[in-house]
Structure 1
Amino acid sequence: MYAIVDIETTGGHASAGCITEIAIFVHDGQEIVEHFETLVNPGRPIPRYIQALTGITDDMVADAPPFEEVAARVFELLQGQIFIAHNVNFDYSFLRHHLDGCGYTLQAKKLCTVRLSRKVFPGFPSYSLGNLCRQLNINIQQRHRASGDALATVQLFERLMAADSQGAIAQALHGRSREKWLPLHLPQEQVAELPSCPGVYYFHNVKGKVVYVGKARDIKKRVTSHFTGNSAGRQRQEFIRNIHRITYEKTGTELMAFILESIEIRRLWPQYNNAQKRIEFRYGIYMFEDQQGYLRLAIEKRRKYTHPVFTFNLLADGHQLMRELIREFRLCPKLCFLQTDQDACTGIAEKTCKGACEKKEKPVRYNKRVLTALESLQARQPSFAILDAGRMATEQSCILMEKGKFYGMGYVPRDVAVSDGAMLKNWLIQYPENEFIRNLLRQYTASKTARLVSFQ
């Protein structure tokens, strides 16, 4: 048995909108055997643009029952039936959300007449209900009213059953079919063709703009996981509705996918990526010249559009590094802001400071040691390559770090001997680096047993 449904609502998201009208036609595959329709009092004003679209006004629903009063009847008609609607996920998510609020858990197989029409009647310029009905000479009475649209969907479904020579309906109802969960505008073929390998995937909107970038160990598995379930939240429903196309780029390893995702989020600034858009407040050592001409080093939080001479994640790490520089290069703890009180300089007492804080040492001599200290920081930074699996058997992936900074990545033929970083650059793509990538690679090299090739 089929339950062919249409609802009118106060808005486009189940968790924030209310139902104003419901129509359900129970169909046995041959004819309508039961019919239920009612206006519903949403308990709030209906937006003016919704009133203009549907013709349902606040006065019309003033004496209508609230959803709680009809929930039992709606659940009785829907539970155990095959739930059919034009853009089924919209109607299903609304009704399941509001039934759940009344204590009823709706579980039903679903069929979407938009997706079925694309398969059974390919080549139409549009698959909206109005345009489909014009193409198939189905007369819609009371357009944008629940009963009128639901009855038109009944006739459309009957045409689909009669014309379904390839078994599209049976295939959609198959227990393992995930098509019913896919975004309305996303062709199933694009999901079916996704590879099961590491990489980065891109969700595009109707204009082709990238609205989300994701990384995956298995692209196909990760993409399909986005569409399981049917959350009623506004953000998720909007996200799903805006996906029209998927593209992807394979990578040799999951680590490369992580890096490429970070690069692409910063390049494309997609609408639905939020995590890596935040300013990274890690720490850095900054250098500036004071009014007396002394170069000063200071540890500060790393902020956007600033340029530290060295960066790190933990404040304690920065303090430890600064102490090492002070001891090794005889810098002043006051000029490095490790001593901030008004007491005598501890560096003079410990014979690491030559009196720059008391103007006993000229700026030119002190500044030379500061610059030497910074040069030593750069010299300490490692240069190495991470070699791992490629996209195919004939290549190996390569990620290059140069003096502590991410240079780029790419793929090197397996028969090429890796001897130095300069040679590797012929095979690699140079990418912009950021704190996230540097930290990711530091953690990876500290915890993994990947093949590392170090360079001088």
Structure 2
Amino acid sequence: MYAIVDIETTGGHASASGITEVAIFISDGIRVVDQYQTLINPGVKIPTYITALTGITNEMVADAPYFEDVAGEIFALLKDHIFVAHHVNFDYSFLKFHLAHYGYDLNTKKLCTVRLGRKIFPGFPSYSLGNLCRSLQIPILNRHRAGGDAEATAKLFAMLVEADANGAIAAALKPSSKEHFLPPNLPVEQVRALPGQPGVYYFHDEKGKVIYVGKAKNISKRVNSHFTGNNAGRQRQEFLRNIHSISYEATGTELMAFILESLEIKRLWPAYNYSQKRIEARFGFYLFEDQQGYLRLAIEKRRKHTAPIYSFNLMVDGRNRLKSLVTKFELCPRLCFLQTDPNCVGRAEHTCHGACDKEEAPETYNNRVLEAIQHLQDEQPSYIIMGNGRGVGEQSCILMERGRFYGMGYLTREVQITSIDGLKDYLTPYPENEYILNLIRQYAVTKGLASLTA
């Protein structure tokens, strides 16, 4: 037997919204054999826009029972039947959440008439309840009221049962089927086609826009994990409703998946990705030539489209590093913006040879600045990280050159690489960020990789 359900609520997510009306039609698949309907006092004021949509007012529910008063009766109707609804996860998540609050554990099989409609009646322009019923000439009385919508869903379900020549309903009810977990607009074929290998996956909305990017060691398992459970929060419910398709890009290794995910989040700025979208408050050494021809090292906030000579997170770390360069290469602290006092402390400490007072030629001073920069770059590690490819006969490669992320790519196992420059022909250059640099550094430490520039 099937319990065909529709509810009206005060909002779009169960954890912060109440139920204002419940309708349950018990059906054998063709005929309705019993029904239950009731208004419910949600215990909160009904928003004006909800009243405008459903017609349910605060006055109408003032004398209605609270959910706790009818929870046992509702649970008894649902617990031994297959739960059927249009966009089933919405109704199910609400009732499961509110029943659990009063000690009832709802755990039944589910069927979604949106998903079944797409399979059994393919080709319609829309599968919303109103449009689908219109296409199938099913009348809806009292639209956006629980009783009217549940009755229309029961008639729709009967038509689905009668037209189900290929066993879509039976297939959806099999223990191995995960359709009842999936978002209503996501084709199950796309989920089944996902590979069990590392990579990045993309959730797209109705217009094809990417709304979420994720990384995975196993794409298939990770994607399916998004749809298990019954989190009733607004963010999750809205997220699931907006997923209409999935695409993916396989990578050879999990590390490459982490890197590609970060790159794609920065590139696409998806609506439901929240991490890695903060602006990185990092600093760097920048080089410029002043009007007198002296090269000057300056600490500045990182610029969006200009790579610094050297990067660091804390200003104090940068100042300490620059002070050590000033001492080691006998540079002028004034020209490096380490002091504003007109009396150069470098003269007293014998590190400055008078460049700040134009007593040392720019060419001589600049040579030491360039030596300092070269020293900085030589200190930075270089790593070539080889790993599995996306298939047999292929290997992956990630290149960090002198502390900078160059890029990554794939090459056949037969390719012989004799130099870093030769390797670059097989790689795709990518922009870097601190997250990616830390990933590679941590990986190198964990694996005990020695720097090529050590």
Same fold per TM (> 0.5)? yes
Which residue of structure 1 lines up, in the alignment, with residue 185 of structure 2? Answer: 185
Q: Which amino acid aligns with 1:11?
A: G
Range moving further from structure 2, 118-127 or 231-240 = 118-127
Does the Cα contact within 8 Å between 1:420 and 1:455 map onto a contact in 2?
no
1:102 counterpart residue number: 102
- Residue of structure 1 equivalent to 2:410: 411
Per the TM alignment, residue 249 of structure 1 is displaced from its structure 2 partner at its CA by: 0.8
Specify whether residues 13 and 255 from structure 1 end up closer, same or farther in structure 2 by C-alpha distance, changes over 3 A only: same
Query: How big is the shift at 1:444?
Result: 1.6
> Please, what is the CA RMSD of the aligned residues?
3.0
State the AA in 1 paired with 2:48. R
Asked if 1:257 is matched to 2:257, the reply is yes
Output the CA distance in 1 between the equivalents of 2:182 and 2:218: 18
What is the aligned partner in structure 2 of residue 437 from structure 1? 436
Name the stretch that deviates more: 194-203 or 122-131.
122-131
Paired positions, count:
453
Map 1:88-99 to 2 at 5 A. 88-99=88-99
2:202 paired residue number = 202
Distance in 2 between the 1:212 and 1:286 partners?
35
For residues 335 and 316 of structure 1, the distance between their equivalents in structure 2, rounded to whole angstroms, comes to: 18
> Aligned partners of 2:303, 2:426: CA distance in 1, in Å?
33
Which position in structure 2 is the counterpart of 1:72? 72
Q: Deviations over 1:220-277 (max 9, x none)?
A: 1111111111211111111111111111111111111111111111111111112111
Identify if the C-alpha distance between structure 1 residues 369 and 454 changes in structure 2 by more than 3 Å, giving closer, same or farther: closer
Query: In the TM superposition, what whole-angstrom CA distance separates every residue of 1:273-297 from its partner, at most 9, and x where no partner exists?
Result: 1211111234433457789987664
1:419 deviates by 0.9
Instruction: Show the 5 A alignment for 1:9-408.
Output: 9-29=9-29, 31-286=31-286, 297=297, 302=302, 308-313=308-313, 318=318, 321-332=321-332, 345=345, 351-354=350-353, 359=357, 362=360, 364=362, 366-408=365-407
Cα separation, 1, equivalents of 2:438 and 2:190:
34
Structure 2 portions without partners, runs of 5+: none
3-state DSSP class of the match of 1:276? coil
TM-score by length of 1: 0.88
* Alpha carbons of structure 1 residues 307 and 383: separation in structure 2 relative to 1, 3 Å: closer
Q: Does the aligned pair in 1 maintain the 2:40–2:64 contact within 8 Å?
A: yes
Name the stretch that deviates more: 250-259 or 370-379: 370-379
Q: Could you say what secondary structure the match of 2:428 adopts?
A: strand
Query: Structure 1 residues 418, 152: closer, same or farther in 2, change over 3 A?
Result: same
**Contact kept in structure 2, 1:279 and 1:303, CA below 8 Å:** no
Instruction: Report deviation, 1:342.
Output: 11
Deviation of the 1:350 alpha carbon: 5.6
For residues 132 and 351 of structure 1, the distance between their equivalents in structure 2, rounded to whole angstroms, comes to 85
Query: Gapped runs of 5+ residues in structure 1?
Result: none
Deviates more, 1:439-448 or 1:317-326: 317-326
**Contact kept in structure 2, 1:201 and 1:215, CA below 8 Å:** yes
Q: Cα–Cα, structure 1 residues 289 and 67, in superposed 2: closer, same or farther, change >3 Å?
A: farther
- How far the C-alpha of 1:361 sits from its partner, in A, is 5.2
Q: Which moved more, 1:138-147 or 1:310-319?
A: 310-319
Q: Determine the C-alpha separation between the residues in 2 that align with 1:434 and 1:102.
A: 49
Q: TM-score, normalised by structure 2?
A: 0.89
Name the CA distance, whole Å, in 2 between partners of 1:39 and 1:441: 58
Measure, in 2, the Cα distance between the counterparts of 1:120 and 1:360: 85
Amino acid at match of 2:369: V
Distance 1:168 1:321 in 2: 67
Task: Tell me the CA shift for residue 368 of structure 1.
Answer: 4.4
User: How far apart, in 2, do the equivalents of 1:366 and 1:159 lie?
Assistant: 87
1:80–1:107: 8 Å Cα contact kept in structure 2?
A: no
Per the alignment, in what secondary structure is the counterpart of residue 255 of structure 1?
Answer: helix
Given that 1:354 and 1:360 are in contact with CA atoms closer than 8 Å, whether structure 2 keeps it comes out as no
Q: Secondary structure at the match of 1:15?
A: helix
Residues in 2 aligned to 1:315 and 1:108: alpha-carbon distance in whole angstroms: 57
